[in-house]
Structure 1
Amino acid sequence: MKRIAINGFGRIGRLFTRAFFENKDLYPDMEIVLINAAGSSGAMTPYDVYYALMYDSNYGNFNRSFSFKPNVAILGYDENHIIVFGKEIKIIGENDVLKLPWKEYDIDIIVDCSGESVRRKEAEKHLVAGAKKVVVSAPFKKTEEAKEIPHIVMGVNQGIYNPEVHNIISNASCTTNALAPMLLPLEEKYGINKGLMTTIHAFTGDQRLVDAKHKDLRRSRRAGGNIIKTSTGAAGTIHLIIPSLRSKIKKIDGICFRVDTPAGSVIYLTVELKSNPAVEELVVVYKEYMENRLRGFMAIAEDPIVSLDTIGMPFSVLIDKDIQCVEDDVAGKKLYGVTGYYDNEYGYALRLVDLVAYIVVNMPASVLKLIKTPPVYDPFRQLEEN
């Protein structure tokens, strides 16, 4: 049984915990034993952590997920712990990473959701404190560090993970986790000449409720009632996930618009391919990947959905089957427009759990060699069974 600790209990830390327990039967080889709920505004108490996990404005009450288990004490707390299904999870509030008790608690993997470990020297502090592996729920800021540290999108490039070498791993960003499965079938089947992506993204905690200071002046404006243009790291890191997109001339670029919605985001991808397949053929290719390599990570929306329909969705991305296409009557090249919906909170948290589970089954002490073809973690496989 591998022992997991969480550092940071904001949106992703909470939803990682929720996603883990909602799908606990899929992850028998790992357990959460400690949460460090420190923060700039003060440490959270066990009751604070309990409350944050129990009540969620986007995803409803924690108990609602377990209504099929009557007369079971699902979630509680005491002076030093939260208690989930009778299992105690220690709650601490330590801001100094080097003082975190990873060695004392024999922590195998620390899941860093603090937003503070996106530089190598900060992430390495967890290893110094005694953790064996560090999984960061964000891409690394510096280009050279991002090249050295594996950025993994489950279903796409998890095979690059080497348990003997990689002790710090990034789960990339929520948008990258959605973009990569959109690009992979197109790149592998046809080749991509170039593309632009626009993400219409739900507001995040980094934005301001009212106009206030921020290093990004656009993000200093209130999140509500606004459409705010900002950068996205997804376009800049996608070549780390799909190396064939690396080029002297940037093949993929993009921008983000933050909008006034709490969760559920959309990517609109515009691409020129090396060949000119029919739109109907693209839909068939996406379905092939959905049923095989990207099973559990990508799906096709047959109905006319909107972004709120994706809240709580288990997939990394949901492709809209209505793909646009225009053709240059001189050069004969086609330009395709593909829409992909994604849950930027819970959907991303599920992939974070999947990545940790993948590392667990590939820990050096648990296998003789790296499993190149991973098991498929399909949290909602019961939908298919029903």
Structure 2
Amino acid sequence: MPKSPETALENWMDREAAAEQMIPLIGALHRNHGVVTSIHGRRLVHKSALGIVKAHRYARQHSGEELATTDTLALLQALAGLDLGAASIDIAKLVLRHQAAGRPDLDAFLREELAPVIGASASIEPTDVVLYGFGRIGRLLARLLVDHESPNAGLRLRAIVVRKGSDNDIVKRASLLRRDSVHGPFDGTISVDEENSTILANGTLIQVIYSNDPATVDYTAYGIDNAIVVDNTGRWRDFDGLGQHLRAKGVARVLLTAPGKGDMKNIVHGINHESITDADTIVSAASCTTNAITPVLKALNDKFGVVHGHVETVHSYTNDQNLIDNFHKGDRRGRSAALNMVITETGAAKAVAKALPELAGKLTGNAIRVPTPDVSMAILNLTLETETTKDEVNQYLRGLSLNSNLRQQIDYIESPEVVSTDFVGSRRAGVVDGLATISNGKNLVLYVWYDNEFGYSNQVIRVVEHMANAHPRVFPPREA
């Protein structure tokens, strides 16, 4: 029997009221204990009541029914009573585990599940992070680092390094951080101290350093030491060029936010980040496209085997293209980005092999730049070793997006209405569009959306956390 309008409104208000009670609990766990809470990977920290309710609705994809806010509120209240150390806790999964266990005493259940971090020290020594370059990726990394900031955070944004562009350069930099035409306004407050050349963003004090030579910056003069420098400029992509950072005082390691050349390790978090050793002082986070397609390709290769394939990327235009026709050193990129689809090259298909050697020589690739400012799509046209069906592939990838250790990389959606702007702000490396999947025996075509700015930036942060050994323990542990 359908609900009456009055009943539907009452149920909504009950859920919203429960979500409002969660907000201070979520904030205190993050601020005082370094605990990041989520619902099936959807972070709850700094979310509004409506955002929390929406995250609960996402749980339908996992269990077929909406997660009850009364259950998650009770669990959060119980968590608040525990002396926890830093951790990443999926409260939806804990609720389901608690229910599957026959609803034993909640406090006793949590003490058993979270035993490794109960009574553990919440305080850890943070790693200093410097952003070298402050363009599209640099500013999104700054937003993410500020959003992660707490006394118990493993990463601490200390400085940005840029070339001075004008007398009021720092004011313009702060304004670009505050307002973004694609990703919207900065969530919080920003103030500028021109005399001391600092930007204060939600309590994070960021030193702005002006330099044209990465080797000559003395970071220790600003109290920065053993820092990880994230180079967002793309000016240097080899060991020699990026090695200039290591000659600066206070720098320990370097991460490049572009494909690295030569023998440099190209890291796709979730695939080969464990290959980073203490001896690796310079590594690359590969490209946005490589990060989007490699996890999906690994998943498909593991289950069905990939004989060969072609990757066609429909990519939003980027800053290296011209707004109107003008000279460009690259072929075709001189033509107006806002008016044309532009065929261009991409090294993403070959770069996959650097993170996933078993696919070496099996992929070709090309790219079409299109007149959109953000969100791209990769079309994977594959020949498989094993025959399969559309439903089998979709259910497999949907399951990985919810329960596997690739959950941070692969997302899945089935909707006849989604278009590119619906994926602005996605934190996953790529989102499989299940309704677009085509399967015919051993021939498979997959469509993977990805926010080539924000999704990639989240992957970069994950690599930085791994380099700094700063990622909190995950509960419940992710399945293989």
TM-score, normalization by structure 2: 0.68
Q: Which amino acid counterpart does residue 469 of structure 2 have in structure 1? A: V
Does 1:293 find its partner at 2:412? no
Aligned to 1:220: 334
Q: 1:11 aligns with which of 129, 136, 140?
A: 136
Q: Which amino acid counterpart does residue 247 of structure 2 have in structure 1? A: V
Shift of 1:228: 0.1
Shift of 1:97: 1.3
Write the distance in 2 (CA, Å) between the matches of 1:42 and 1:162: 40
Aligned to 1:114: 233
CA contact (8 A) 2:216 2:247 kept: no
CA contact (8 A) 2:272 2:355 kept: yes
Deviation per residue, 1:167-207 (Å, 9 max, x gap): 00100000001010120111111211000011100010000
Write the distance in 2 (CA, Å) between the matches of 1:118 and 1:43: 30
Write the distance in 2 (CA, Å) between the matches of 1:278 and 1:319: 15
Greater shift, 24-33 or 83-92, is seen at 24-33
Identity %: 30
Greater shift, 273-282 or 131-140, is seen at 273-282
Greater shift, 341-350 or 83-92, is seen at 83-92
Q: 1:173 aligns with which of 287, 291, 302?
A: 287
Q: 1:133 aligns with which of 218, 242, 253?
A: 253
Shift of 1:286: 1.0
Matches within 5 A, 1:151-170: 151-163=266-278, 165-170=279-284
Distance 1:23 1:100, change over 3 A: same
Q: 1:344 aligns with which of 441, 449, 452?
A: 452
Write the distance in 2 (CA, Å) between the matches of 1:94 and 1:29: 27
Aligned to 1:319: 432
Distance 1:238 1:20, change over 3 A: same
RMSD between aligned residues:
2.1
Q: Between Structure 1 and Structure 2, whose CA radius of gyration is higher?
A: 2
Q: Which runs of 4+ in 1 moved over 4 A?
A: 41-44, 374-377
CA contact (8 A) 1:37 1:44 kept: no
Aligned to 1:331: none
Write the distance in 2 (CA, Å) between the matches of 1:307 and 1:272: 26
Could you say what secondary structure the match of 1:216 adopts?
Answer: coil
Aligned to 1:149: 264
Does 1:102 find its partner at 2:219? yes
Shift of 1:217: 2.6
Unaligned runs of 5+ in 2: 1-125, 476-480
Higher helix share: 2
Matches within 5 A, 1:35-50: 35-38=160-163, 45-50=169-174
Write the distance in 1 (CA, Å) between the matches of 2:151 and 2:356: 28
Aligned to 2:353: 239
Greater shift, 302-311 or 7-16, is seen at 302-311
Equivalent residues, number: 343
Write the distance in 2 (CA, Å) between the matches of 1:321 and 1:26: 41
Distance 1:198 1:15, change over 3 A: same
Aligned to 1:354: 462
Write the distance in 2 (CA, Å) between the matches of 1:347 and 1:376: 20
Distance 1:296 1:25, change over 3 A: farther
| Greater length-normalized contact order (CA 8 Å, ≥ 6 residues apart) | 1
Q: 1:230 aligns with which of 333, 340, 344?
A: 344
Q: Which amino acid counterpart does residue 172 of structure 2 have in structure 1? A: D
Q: Which amino acid counterpart does residue 405 of structure 2 have in structure 1? A: R
Aligned to 1:302: 414
Shift of 1:346: 0.9
Distance 1:26 1:212, change over 3 A: farther
Aligned to 2:87: none
Write the distance in 2 (CA, Å) between the matches of 1:215 and 1:35: 29
Greater shift, 280-289 or 117-126, is seen at 280-289
Q: Which amino acid counterpart does residue 336 of structure 1 have in structure 2? A: L
Write the distance in 1 (CA, Å) between the matches of 2:228 and 2:440: 48
